[in-house]
Structure 1
Amino acid sequence: MWTRHHKKRRHGRFVLPAITVAFLGYFGYHSLNGDFGLRAAEGFEKRRIERERDLAKLVAKRKELEKEVELMSDGSLDKDMLDEKARYTLNVSRADEIVIFNSYF
């Protein structure tokens, strides 16, 4: 009867730990440097702060415009506001006037 004897290989016991280290190394690297990793999260946070700042500016601008629209509504038409808007839009002034344009329109 023939029996087979397998030699115990020295390198065979390192295969599973090597695969484990490679697996953990791959996912560890991408958790730091990947598209959604920790370093990318810092960039996302910076962009979020910038966009919140832009949103605050836009909200303030919208409130100003809503206030102007309210002043020009039918019930409470402010003649000075209407005159100012018409002059600015049509670029019309009298000869004895000094015109100073603000860039908030």
Structure 2
Amino acid sequence: MIIFLRRGMSTICAPLLFLLLTAYFLWNALHGDLGIKAYQHQKTLQTEAQSALADAHKEQTIWRRRVLALNERALDPDMLDERSRAMLNSSLKDDLVIPYGEKHPLY
């Protein structure tokens, strides 16, 4: 009976060991630090970073255009006067003033 148990254990032990090793490597391939799920998470982070970079480039373009518009030849005196009056809430005697409600601001 003992010989039968030893033969059974020796025939089961090696395949079981290789099966457990295979399961270990498969689990690490899916869930480990360098596994498929970690790769998908990194791809998601990369997509978010590329989106943030595109937004930063758009904002940089807008600011570059604004800075270039501050050139003294690019400033329109009438627009500058109108904007300064709106910001300072002032007007001339001959100006027509149209009041806006709080729900409809001018700027």
TM-score relative to the length of structure 1: 0.61
Q: Give 1:36 shift.
A: 2.7
**Number of equivalent positions:** 89
1:93 maps to 89
Q: 1:53-92 maps to which residues of 2 (within 5 A)?
A: 53-73=51-71, 76-80=72-76, 83=80, 87=84, 91-92=87-88
Which shows bigger deviation, 91-100 or 54-63? Answer: 91-100
Which shows bigger deviation, 14-23 or 91-100? Answer: 91-100
Alpha-carbon distance in structure 1 between the residues aligned to 2:76 and 2:20: 75
Gaps of 5+ in 2: 92-96
- What CA RMSD, in Å, does the superposition of the two structures yield over aligned residues? 3.1
CA contact (8 A) 2:69 2:75 kept: no
Q: Which has the higher helix share?
A: 2
Alpha-carbon distance in structure 2 between the residues aligned to 1:83 and 1:28: 68
The structure with higher relative contact order (CA 8 Å, sep 6+) is 1
SS at match of 1:35: coil
The percentage of aligned residue pairs carrying the same residue is 17
2:43 maps to 45
